[in-house]
Amino acid sequence: MDEAAAPEERAHDLALLQMGRQLLADNYRFMTVTPLTHQRNNERAQNREARDVRDVFGWNRPFEAHVLPGVEAEALWESEVIRAQDGHWISTVRYSSLGELLFVHSGFPTTARDAVFFGPDTYRFAQAIEAHLGASTHPIRTAADIGCGSGAGAIVIAHARPEAQVQALDINPTALRFTAVNAALAQTENVSPRYSDLLNGASGQFDLIVANPPYMQDTQKRAYRHGGDRLGSELAVRIVEQALDRLTPGGTLLLYTGTPWVDGTDLFLESAQPLVDKPGFTWSYREVDPDVFGEELESDNYACAERIAAVVLTVTKTP
């Protein structure tokens, strides 16, 4: 937890940690779905109001006071984790499961500029990291998660490699606070949340760099969602440019992102391939889902796009 934070922020984050520990003790589990699926579920007449804790902190539905025990509700209210809404209560956060781990992140819908996203992309990102860790024999002493958000990537690494020092990097102070809470929930003391624009605020070289950057072209330019120009692929290319210079010999960049396809061309790969296809590096690239966020194709930004695919780029520096 951040000892330099304001007292009200410390109280808020301590309440998040205590609630998370209680949920773990109670064997709470919730798998977070896409925003559209979440919305469709909550719009059903029988789902307009929470009936249990999972509805409160997973589906993020309004609830009456009796749904949460009085002591818990009082602590959450005092720290502004829950607030009044139209004669009910509502949680400002959600808790989601990732294997045996639990992560706190922003409430639904994630419309705030400092929102911290967690969803199906997080699960695919974590699976890609776990697959790499299972296949690699290269020792990991230092690692970085660029744009860490909830801290999922950093914590997955730290949990699997307790000997590694893992920097969780983000420009969003809310993300760094949530990461600190989630690292405490996971009991991963080897995670260090740090303010950093990509790798500019990080120190040293890395045996493993991971990133799951925002990859949409968002008209509101929200930090958790906006990936820049070229239909949101620009940020991922910048990460590749910076990360390759910060790898140790034998070190790897693992980048999970989304890429728009226009007239049969993968816009991210078109820009990234010249950066990685050169002496001193080996790389692989694969689609893990050919069609994500298809609803974006109805927007003006994506009028020229055929589809958006989820991909993983892995680049290793020659030892």
Whole-number pLDDT of residue 27? 97
- DSSP 8-class letter at 246: T
- How far apart are the C-alpha atoms of 258 and 236, rounded to whole Å? 9
Using alpha carbons only, give the angle 76, 80, 83 rounded to the nearest 5 degrees. Answer: 90
The whole-number mean pLDDT for each consecutive block of 10 residues of the chain, a chain of 319 residues, reads: 71 95 97 96 97 97 91 87 93 98 97 93 98 96 98 98 98 97 98 97 96 88 79 95 97 97 97 97 98 93 96 97
Number of domains, the chain? 2
In terms of pTM, does the model score above 0.85? yes
- Residue range(s) defining the domain that contains residue 35: 7-106
Q: Is 202 helix (H, G, I), strand (E, B) or coil?
A: coil
Reference 88, options 59, 57, 50, 58; nearest CA is: 50
Whole-number pLDDT of residue 129? 98
Whole-number pLDDT of residue 15? 95
Block residue for tokens 């776990």? 130
| Residues contacting 82, CB < 8 A, separation 6+ | 68, 73, 76, 89, 90, 91, 92
Q: Which residues of 12-47 are buried (b: 16+ CB within 10 A; e: fewer)?
A: bbebbbbbbeebbeeebebebbebeebeeebeeeee
- How far apart are the C-alpha atoms of 257 and 294, rounded to whole Å? 15
Question: Is 272 found in the same domain as 140?
Answer: yes
Answer with the one of 83, 106, 129 that is the final residue of a domain: 106
- How far apart are the C-alpha atoms of 257 and 224, rounded to whole Å? 13
Instruction: Give bridge partners of residue 216 from the DSSP assignment.
Output: 226
Question: Is 171 found in the same domain as 57?
Answer: no
Residue 112 lies in a domain: no
* Helix ranges restricted to H, 172-308: 173-186, 229-232, 234-244, 267-276
Whole-number pLDDT of residue 1? 61
Supply the CATH number for residue 296's domain: 3.40.50.150
Question: Is 33 found in the same domain as 69?
Answer: yes
Answer with the one of 75, 106, 137 that is the final residue of a domain: 106
Question: Is 219 found in the same domain as 71?
Answer: no
Residue 216 lies in a domain: yes
Is residue 141 classed exposed, middle or buried when 0-12, 13-18 and 19+ CB atoms within 10 A define those classes? middle
Q: Record the tokens describing residue 301, joined without a space.
A: 């930004």
- DSSP 8-class letter at 219: T
Residue 2 lies in a domain: no
Instruction: Give bridge partners of residue 146 from the DSSP assignment.
Output: 169, 211
Question: Is 197 found in the same domain as 155?
Answer: yes
- How far apart are the C-alpha atoms of 57 and 31, rounded to whole Å? 11
Using a CB cutoff of 8 Å and minimum separation of 24, what contacts does 40-49 make?
A: 42/108, 49/88
Question: Is 138 found in the same domain as 84?
Answer: no
